[in-house]
Structure 1
Amino acid sequence: MPYAEAADGARIAYQLQGDGPVLVLLAGQANNHHWWDGVRDGFTGRSTLTIDYRGTGESDKPHGPYSTEGFADDLTAVLDELAVDRADVYGTSMGGRVAQRLAARRPERVRALVLGCTSPGGRHAVERGTEVRRSLSWSDPAQTRRALLELMYTPAWLAAHPGPYHTLGDPDMPRHARRGHLTASDRHDAWDELPGIAAPTLVLHGTDDLLNPAANAPLLAARIPGARLELIQGARHAYFEERLDLVGPLVLDFLDRPDKKVDSR
């Protein structure tokens, strides 16, 4: 497993597959690169680059600090290790928050940006409802897992795909790292930085996403200059996997022609 060394000496594992221009894929909170296992092969003509966030997978698991800014710095260390000066970046969920930090603070490293099922964070974000929060706090792990699955995927998709599922978190994370990831996501607030994002940006979101409410998508699109918004009808949080047939070509078309207007669906 190849590693890059972060500024504090932590080892960050990364995975590079395929040939062509580099597309960085950033996973959700408390997940490692396996988040993208059912998706990355769909990005034909691209080299896909994933990382294991610190605290996950094969990366080091220090006790802190954890932040979306820090995750963006870790990704920069990986890009430096690979001598990738500029890449396309596609971040989903917390990965979208990391991508916001990278694009705002290191604009020279991002050619085009895709933000999926994510939010700006802070007081401007639309938070998930009380019922959703309650459903994720069962004392019975099986109930919590089922609730998370139903937030990720539609019932029809779950019935046709019995698993394994790659978006439910890294089961081998130590407790301190899980807390660190939660803190990083909760403390994210890029509202003041979003207008400084210069990369062409596509914002994607499932209309039926309750885990990260879909109302966050137009907030991001309006805040980032020139950003385009595409809502995936009927999709939930893991729209990128369940609707890969639609979203994969949509993302590739945007990345190939980031200045082209995206038709609404």
Structure 2
Amino acid sequence: MPDIHHLEDTTPAADGTTLAHQTRGTGHPLVLLAGQANNHHWWDAVRDDFHPTHRTITLDYRGTGASDKPEAQEGYSTRQFADDVIAVLDALGIERTDLYGTSMGGRVAQWVAARYPDRIRRLVLGCTSPGGPHAVERPAEVRRALVSPEPGAAEEALTDLMYTPAWRAAHPGPYGTLGDPGMPPHARRGHLRASNRHDAWDALPHITAPTLVLHGDQDRLTPPDNLPLLAARIPDATTRLFPGARHAYFEECRTEAGEAVLDFLNGASR
């Protein structure tokens, strides 16, 4: 087993916002990016799976965790989150890294890889979409369920979108993928706007890193029809679909997904 190191630190973003980031393990760097309105605990259930070969780096997005939670007139954006990732890499002295983003983190990862191609060795995009008019959006009934005013209904709807009933029965939680409970309302709105306004369609062909695109075939939060869209738009992209899995395929199909990611990351470098 590798010697696991733990490092908690903060660094300023370009605009002075304090960003909290966390480093675990040794080996080649791998940045893990969480979903919308979540902090680094999104990865708690599977993070150790990457440590045999990689040092993992996470961050608390602005608005989450131990990072600052500024109010911004224009809200937050996935481009801004991407710049925050680069600020963390610079602070850690990491010139080139592997990058794995899921859900909104996959949207952020698209910008990192397209705008800073020299910084990314290999890219993994999970349960995500290109955004904008080309994306396949979630059904209207899913959107309504996520804003239900009934007590507990929205959280139950989100949990059901993340995991199948059978998996939940065997893994009763708590779950680290249901949002950061410490986020103020303005930050939640900012994250929602950032994800909803994402549109990287024109930037995707500029990604130069070999890319793996992953999705659960029962995902109704981000429909799996987005997988072939991304793969066709990104040069040198391959795909993997996990039968029976919902949005949190990386937990429900932990063994298969983890092995697929590590096999890809540890393949021959270009």
With the shorter chain as reference, the TM-score category is over 0.9
Distance of 1:204 and 1:141 partners within structure 2: 33
Shift of 1:131: 1.3
Tell me the residue number matched to 2:156: 146
Q: Which residue of 2 aligns with 1:240?
A: 250
- Tell me the residue number matched to 1:48: 56
Task: Note if 1:69 corresponds to 2:56.
Answer: no
Superposed counterparts of 1:19-168, under 5 Å: 19-43=26-50, 44-64=52-72, 65-168=75-178
1:186-201 to 2 correspondence within 5 Å? 186-201=196-211
Decide which moves more: 196-205 or 133-142: 133-142
Normalising to structure 1: TM-score of the pair?
0.96
1 CA distance for matches of 2:268 and 2:254?
19
Matched AA of 1:146: E
Percent of aligned pairs with the same amino acid: 65
TM-score for both structures, normalised by structure 2: 0.95
Aligned residue type for 2:49:
G
Tell me, what secondary structure is at the counterpart of 2:191? helix
CA drift of 1:258 comes to 5.5
Q: Which amino acid aligns with 2:47?
A: R
Q: Distance in 1 between matches of 2:18 and 2:151?
A: 31
Unaligned runs of 5+ in 2: 1-7
Matched residue, 1:210: 220
Q: Deviations over 1:105-146 (max 9, x none)?
A: 000110000000000000000000011112112112411111
Q: 1:258 to 1:134 in 2, by over 3 A?
A: farther
Look up the match of 2:11: 4
How far, CA to CA, are the matches of 2:262 and 2:247 in structure 1? Answer: 20
Aligned pairs (5 A) from 1:223-262? 223-257=233-267
Contact 1:112/1:258 (8 A) holds in 2: no
Post-superposition CA distance 1:93-113 (Å, at most 9, x none) = 000000000000000110000
Deviations 1:162-194 (A, max 9, x none): 111000000010000000001100110000000
| Distance in 2 separating the partners of 1:158 and 1:97 | 27
For residue 149 of structure 1, report the CA deviation from its aligned partner: 0.7
Displacement after TM superposition at 1:232 (Å): 0.7
Contact 1:89–1:113 (8 Å) recurs in 2: yes
Question: Which amino acid counterpart does residue 139 of structure 1 have in structure 2?
Answer: P
AA aligned to 1:69 is R
Query: How many residues of Structure 1 are paired with residues of Structure 2 in the alignment?
Result: 260
Matching residue's letter, 2:197: R
Q: Which runs of 5+ in 1 are unaligned?
A: 261-265
Query: Given the alignment, which residue of 175, 180, 185 partners 1:170?
Result: 180
**Structure 1 CA distance for aligned equivalents of residues 249 and 216 of structure 2:** 6
> Could you list the runs of 4 or more consecutive aligned residues of structure 1 that deviate by over 2 angstroms after TM superposition?
none
Cα distance change of structure 1 residues 33 and 223 upon mapping to structure 2, 3 Å threshold: same
SS class of match (1:205): strand
* 2-structure distance, mates of 1:92, 1:42: 16
